[in-house]
Amino acid sequence: MPKVIVANYKMNGSKKLYATIVKKINKLKVMDTRIVLCPPFVYLDEFRLKNRSVSLGCQDITNEDNSKSTGQISPSMLLEFRVKYVIVGHSERRKLGEKDEQINEKVKICLNNGLLPIICVGEEKKSDKLDSVLLQVEQALKSTPKDTSPIIAYEPVWAIGTGKLPEVARINRMSKKIRDKIRDLGYQNCVVLYGGSVNKDNFKEIISSEIDGLLLGGVSLRIDEFIEIVKGIDNE
């Protein structure tokens, strides 16, 4: 299975920066890696991607399938920009008050419109029980078609932006628990990503675990370092 590398640019960047990123990404050659780039919505049109290994994603989507939600982004809008993936349930959205029910609605809207949700889950504190993560998985996928292959991004909140990485054994344990839960829910396959304080100095340690790829934040903006990580994974 190809590794999956997702770049979440968050609320960062400029037209100039993204022009540089797109230029370098379009020249990037990989053999067995899928890359997903998720810029802020206002910069989606800057991503004229010519690399077949690279797809476009978005950082969020509406949870209401109507046209009266001021400030929201609809699936039809994203499809016009050739978006294929959507990050759903990121911890930073959850901190703003997003609940499991809203996340589930967003997952359904994605799937009903041919978009692939990247569902973020993770415990708040290192001491938290990992079963709380499995509940997030279950709630996000409630009443969704069983013929899909969910993409789950395990992002322990205590690791994001802190420089603190979970032990590989913990990542492996969480990955197994997620896969077991997915099977218990009736799905045949899933993709499990890891995100949280990954950089060029530690990505090999993470990618040696049982996960299928990475969800990268700040390092994505440092395009040369991002490409170094992609090439390092592609050559594994």
Sort 138 into a burial class: Cβ within 10 Å, 0-12 / 13-18 / 19+: middle
Total length of the chain:
236
- Among 98, 155, 167, 225, the active-site one is 155
Query: Is 90 annotated in the active site?
Result: yes
Task: Scan for tokens 């370092």, then name that residue.
Answer: 225
Task: Scan for tokens 């990954």, then name that residue.
Answer: 198
Q: Which two tokens stand for residue 71?
A: 């400030």
**Do the beta carbons of residue 157 and residue 91 sit within 8 Å?**
yes
- Among 90, 92, 98, 105, the active-site one is 90
Task: Scan for tokens 């969480």, then name that residue.
Answer: 174
**Do the beta carbons of residue 193 and residue 213 sit within 8 Å?**
yes
Catalytic residues: 90, 155
